[in-house]
């Protein structure tokens, strides 16, 4: 849990601070953080700390966006759904899992749009994140 928190939040915070120092000096830039669809809700078991760190990263990104509002610095938070990578290759079932190449293309497309928040791939995650927000906790428990 500590390693997950250090990697997903503390390291991301350090990288954001370093990037913002450069962006402020040059008065331009595009900060992009990679959160997760799991940032929308708390999940159980192995996803508990992961989801919490991604929610923290999403909140950090929003705070940074507010800090640099009305400047030429853009801030985007990308929330990928399930993308097959080495990290999750042993996961047997995950809804709407896509391969790494398709996932990367969706992320790049979202970054280029420079939206505040993007859920990728947009179908089905742009819709699913809304459903996850209102789903009863008992349903979330069954999903994780």
Burial of 86 (0-12, 13-18, 19+ CB in 10 A): exposed
Residue tagged active-site, from 9, 23, 43, 50: 50
CA–CA dist 61, 84 (Å, integer): 25
CA–CA dist 126, 118 (Å, integer): 8
Catalytic, 50? Answer yes
Residue 76 and residue 114 in contact, taking contact as beta carbons nearer than 8 Å = yes
Residue with tokens 């990578």: 85
According to DSSP, residue 83 is labeled B
CA–CA dist 20, 30 (Å, integer): 9
Residues with a catalytic annotation lie at 50
């Amino acid at each position: 849990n500590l390693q997950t928190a250090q990697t997903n939040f503390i390291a991301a915070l350090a990288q954001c601070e370093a990037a913002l120092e450069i962006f402020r000096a040059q008065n331009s830039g595009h900060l992009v953080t990679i959160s997760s669809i799991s940032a929308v809700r708390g999940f159980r078991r192995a996803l508990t700390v992961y989801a919490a760190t991604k929610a923290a990263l999403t909140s950090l990104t929003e705070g940074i966006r507010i800090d640099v509002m009305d400047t030429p610095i853009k801030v985007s938070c990308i929330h990928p759904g399930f993308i097959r990578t080495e990290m999750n290759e042993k996961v047997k079932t995950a809804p709407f899992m896509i391969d790494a190449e398709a996932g990367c293309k969706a992320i790049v497309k979202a970054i280029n749009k420079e939206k505040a928040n993007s859920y990728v791939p947009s179908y089905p995650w742009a819709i699913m994140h809304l459903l996850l927000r209102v789903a009863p906790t008992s349903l979330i428990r069954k999903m994780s």
